Chain A
Amino acid sequence: MASISRPAAACSAAAALLLLALPAGAAEQITFVSQGGAYQKAQTVAILDPAAKKLGITINQDSVPDAWPLMRSQVAGGKPIWDVVDVATGFCLRGGEQGIVEKLDFSKLPNAAAMPEEYRSPWSVAYEFYSSVLAYGQKRYPDAASAPKTWADFWDVKKFPGRRSLRNHPLATLEAALMADGVAPDKLYPLDVERAFRKLEEIKPHITVWWTSGAQSAQLLNDGEVDMVMAWNGRVSALIKEGAKVAYTYNQGILQSTSLCILKGAPNLATAVRFVNEAVDPVLQANLPLHIDYGPANPKAFDTKVIPAERVGQLPSAPENARRQALMSYAFWSSAEGEAAEKRWLSFVQK
């Protein structure tokens, strides 16, 4: 064997190292952001790990309770680190209007394209559903027949005496007020804000607390501090699982969603698109309710038979439950009227 000169040996060694390093650096990856906690843990098991395996990519996770300010500052800075964000649908829409979020090419997202029109927008696709529901304590309303079933019942202080609580925010609260005033769940939008606030003035003296956090709403119900509350279904079913004597109904609930969107100028755009398509795949979507009380966004998930029958009845987006609820229109809340209603809320609560 001819002896190799030192420089040549050094060069080939360096080249070999480079070749070894390259595949690791070139492995596809994305950064995915959600809200953390039990919800993100459930997503990891149900959706993120299977998707990573199937697509052969690495998913780096991040979590923040409120992604919107960071979405804005990252894109404004010019070099976003996040790719895909799971955030309340309203923020995806606002992001689209303000140029912070990429427009989606649905030809590359067949799973998303097959979902109902109302569940997507040019910039986002719905990821999971949760509901704002009427929950009550069974101490005062022991059997379901005599318990409050509609928002009109919530407003009826004579027939259903008891202390009440609503969320200290107009989102979903205005919808409930309109339904209490007789508006049909599918005819809510655009919201008659004037009428909603008038109806809320009626119930205001009877509201014990305007809650500001999900945990607080659950605490109030659990402690018996209030007898009726509008709360998120996941919080109430967690209480029921712990044995608390509370119950809720999906009747006239407000179906809300979080959606996936891709930041403008995301570092791994192509991989992000592949991931989004996989994340709304019916089978992966069907996995989510097995680990947490939120409903899959893709209705085809219910056809996959992955979700056991008794579980289906508990989920907000199950067909029989979705039918009884009002689907929130984030388009309204992102509009000028929606923002005006938000601003009006503070002075409403104060007086």
Chain B
Amino acid sequence: MLLLASPALLVVLALVVLPVGWFLGLSVYDGGFTLEHYRRIFAEDIYWRSFGLTFRIALVVTVASLLLGYPVAYAAARLQRPWDVLILACVVLPFWTSVLVRTYAWLVLLQRTGVVNQALDRLGLIDEPLALVHNEFGTVVAMVHILLPFMVLPLYSTMKKIPGDLVQAGASLGGSPSHVFLRVFLPLSLPGVVAGLTLVFVLCLGFYITPELLGGGRTIMVSMVVSRNVELYNQWGAASAVAAVLLAGVLAVFFLVGRFVPLDRVLGQK
């Protein structure tokens, strides 16, 4: 059995365990053993602010993508051909486009002379162009768009498995549509919700390109702090320490989620 698994294990070792171990080592060994980098992270407020901003944006994006993604997944799971294929195509096709292209597309849409502002101006709704990008707002909007497939697809796969008979049974026993939805469908879709929430949240924490390009230089998420430490200050130790703290944060999130939601049962179904 182990022999069969060994190619995969080797890949995991080489591409995950070794690099992570290496940078964890870098963060405490800089010429000699030192905890200076960690001390600085907890002492200087720019790191606190970055972590705070990152978690806040991650929360907003996760909730927004859940609110937008749930109806989409619901429609895709419950409609007949060709509508479900069409909806899924609309979700998946942008997924296959490069993240860089999608981020720049948002710039074209949201900038001062961009499509949205021009349309609002022509309609006479605004006098001055709105500041929709180069700030947190633009970053959040683009991130929701980019991460939506990661919410929709797990939700869809869970919803698809919910037998349609159950909903019908609930209705035939006298439940109103909203009652049936809240008491039958929603609880059964929770595994998908948890999977989607976790996936989107974790991806948000490490996001780099979108805040870099659309944040105006002011929306400094943790990934950007790591990159600044490497590019500008050539401090690999400091960057590694920041990355290590982020990794610890993500593991803590999983741990907490695991306490309130029996993850193996929920994700492994039955």
A335 within 8 A of B: no
A window 190-244: CB within 8 A of B: 208-212, 223-225
A350 within 8 A of B: yes
Contact B50 A350 (CB under 8 A): yes
Do A350 and B113 contact each other (CB < 8 Å), given the known contacts A66-B231, A69-B234? no
Residues on B with beta carbons closer than 8 Å to the beta carbon of A342:
232-233
Whole-angstrom distance between the alpha carbons of A5 and B216 in the complex?
81
In this complex, the interface size class of chain B, counting residues with CB under 8 Å from chain A, is: 20 to 34
B77 within 8 A of A: no
Contact B217 A211 (CB under 8 A): yes
B139 within 8 A of A: no
Contact A208 B46 (CB under 8 A): no
**Distance (Å) between the CB of A91 and the closest chain B CB?**
11
Q: What is the predominant secondary structure among interface residues of chain A facing chain B?
A: mixed
Whole-angstrom distance between the alpha carbons of A224 and B113 in the complex?
7
Contact A223 B233 (CB under 8 A): no
Partner of B217 from A69, A212, A223 at Cβ < 8 Å: A212
Whole-angstrom distance between the alpha carbons of A69 and B131 in the complex?
38
A163 within 8 A of B: yes
Residues on B with beta carbons closer than 8 Å to the beta carbon of A66:
231
Contact A349 B233 (CB under 8 A): no
Give the one of B112, B113, B212 with max A CB within 10 A: B112
Contact B220 A350 (CB under 8 A): yes
Contact B234 A68 (CB under 8 A): yes
Q: Chain A: how many interface residues by the 8 Å CB criterion?
A: 21
Whole-angstrom distance between the alpha carbons of A68 and B233 in the complex?
11
**Distance (Å) between the CB of B240 and the closest chain A CB?**
15
Whole-angstrom distance between the alpha carbons of A351 and B218 in the complex?
8
Contact B113 A223 (CB under 8 A): yes
Residues on B with beta carbons closer than 8 Å to the beta carbon of A69:
234
Do A224 and B217 contact each other (CB < 8 Å), given the known contacts A343-B233, A346-B46, A346-B225? no
Contact B217 A349 (CB under 8 A): yes
Residues on A with beta carbons closer than 8 Å to the beta carbon of B49:
350-351
Contact A209 B217 (CB under 8 A): yes
Q: What is the 8 Å Cβ interface bit string for chain A, positions 334-348, against chain B (1 contact, 0 not)?
A: 000000001100110
B134 within 8 A of A: yes
B window 195-242: CB within 8 A of A: 212, 216-218, 220, 225, 228, 231-234
Residues on A with beta carbons closer than 8 Å to the beta carbon of B233:
342-343
Q: What is the 8 Å Cβ interface bit string for chain B, positions 43-79, against chain A (1 contact, 0 not)?
A: 0111001100000000000000000000000000000
Contact A168 B217 (CB under 8 A): yes
Give the nearest-CB partner of B230 in chain A: A69
Whole-angstrom distance between the alpha carbons of A346 and B49 in the complex?
11
**Distance (Å) between the CB of B131 and the closest chain A CB?**
7
Residues on A with beta carbons closer than 8 Å to the beta carbon of B234:
68-69
Contact B220 A346 (CB under 8 A): yes
Q: Mind listing 24 A-B residue pairs with CB under 8 Å?
A: A69-B234, A163-B112, A168-B217, A169-B232, A208-B112, A208-B131, A210-B216, A211-B217, A212-B212, A212-B217, A223-B111, A223-B112, A224-B112, A224-B113, A225-B112, A342-B232, A342-B233, A346-B46, A346-B220, A346-B228, A347-B44, A349-B218, A350-B50, A350-B220
Hey, which bits of chain A sit against chain B, CB under 8 A? Answer: 66, 68-69, 163, 168-169, 208-212, 223-225, 342-343, 346-347, 349-351
Known contacts A68-B234, A208-B112, A346-B228; 20 further A-B pairs (Cβ under 8 A) = A163-B112, A168-B217, A208-B131, A208-B134, A209-B216, A209-B217, A210-B217, A210-B218, A212-B212, A212-B217, A225-B111, A342-B232, A343-B233, A346-B46, A346-B220, A346-B225, A347-B46, A349-B218, A350-B46, A350-B49
- 7 residue pairs, one from A and one from B, having the closest CB atoms: A210-B217, A168-B217, A347-B46, A209-B134, A209-B216, A224-B113, A350-B220
Hey, which bits of chain B sit against chain A, CB under 8 A? Answer: 44-46, 49-50, 111-113, 131, 134, 212, 216-218, 220, 225, 228, 231-234
